[in-house]
């Protein structure tokens, strides 16, 4: 058997091996990795604290009474596909001058390198966004303090974004309370 015949015989085996290797990446990324990146956090809602002294300049943002939490906006996490999903509520809360994003009783698909964005878009894409940092957990209830001076008038949604695959895992369109 000539060398050329051996190469022709091996070609289907090599091509088949490359195809299997190519399929292993998405199966691992979307089928196996999410099983290992699940986590749960159960954190209480933020505790109201006193308003600051009157010497501090008033802000343009609404100020809630210091002894209560006001819901400024809320939305429900959405299922995008079988591997990109979320359920539960997201709330923007205010207590005095402090504001928070709260994830309430959520279940979010596992993925690597997930981040929480406040977006100016309502289609699930980040658009012009404020990065609140890594997602703290895929399940449970937890809070993110919002930056002081953040203007909420342009915030339309909360997006959970997978930086590793540059894809939205889930999002919630916000409606004013």
pLDDT in tens, 83-129: 899 999 999 999 888 999 999 999 999 888 999 999 999 999 999 99
CA distance 111 to 32: 10
* Amino acid 5: pLDDT: 78
Q: Which comes out higher in pLDDT, residue 150 or 18?
A: 150
Neighbours of 158 (CB within 10 A): 27
The pTM (predicted TM-score) of the whole model is 0.74
Cα atoms found within 13 Å of the Cα of residue 148, Cβ hemisphere only: 6
The b/e string for 127-149 (b: 16+ C-beta within 10 A; e otherwise) is eebbebeebbbbbbbbbbebeee
Number of structural domains found in the chain: 1
Domain annotation covers residue 66:
yes
Cβ within 8 Å of residue 63, ≥6 positions away: 51, 94, 96, 97
Q: How far apart are CA 17 and CA 105, in angstroms?
A: 44
Per-residue model confidence as pLDDT tens digits over 136-155: 999 999 999 999 989 999 99
What pLDDT is stored for residue 67 in this prediction?
62
Containing structural domain, residue 116 = 37-45+62-176
In this structure, is residue 14 part of a structural domain?
Answer: no
Q: Answer with the residue of higher pLDDT: 82 or 55.
A: 82
DSSP assignment string, 100-166: EEEEEEEEE---SSEEEEEES-SSS--SSEEEEEE---SEEEEEEEPPTT--GGG--EEEEEETTTT
Calpha distance 141→89 (Å, rounded): 9
81: domain CATH number?
A: 2.60.40
**CA 6 to chain CA mean position, Å:** 52
Tell me, yes or no, whether 52 lies in a domain: no
Residue 117 within a domain:
yes
Look at residue 138 and tell me if it is in a domain.
yes
pLDDT digits (tens, 9 = 90+) for 37-77: 678 889 988 887 665 555 445 454 555 555 678 999 999 99
């Amino acid at each position: 058997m000539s060398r050329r015949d051996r190469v022709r015989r091996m070609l289907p085996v090599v091509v088949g091996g490359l195809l299997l290797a190519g399929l292993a990446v998405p199966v691992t990324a979307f089928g196996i990795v999410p099983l290992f990146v699940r986590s749960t956090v159960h954190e209480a809602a933020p505790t109201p604290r006193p308003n600051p002294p009157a010497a501090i300049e008033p802000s343009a943002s609404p100020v809630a009474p210091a002894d209560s939490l006001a819901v400024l906006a809320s939305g429900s996490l959405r299922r995008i596909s079988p591997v990109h999903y979320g359920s539960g509520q997201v709330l923007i809360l205010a207590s005095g001058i402090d504001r928070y994003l709260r994830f309430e009783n959520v279940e979010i698909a596992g993925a690597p390198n997930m981040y929480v964005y406040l977006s100016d878009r309502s289609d699930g894409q980040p658009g012009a966004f404020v990065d609140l940092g890594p997602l703290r957990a895929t399940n449970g209830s937890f809070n993110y303090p919002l930056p002081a001076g953040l203007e909420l008038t342009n915030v339309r949604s909360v997006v959970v974004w997978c930086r590793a695959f540059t894809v939205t895992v889930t999002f919630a369109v916000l409606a004013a309370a």
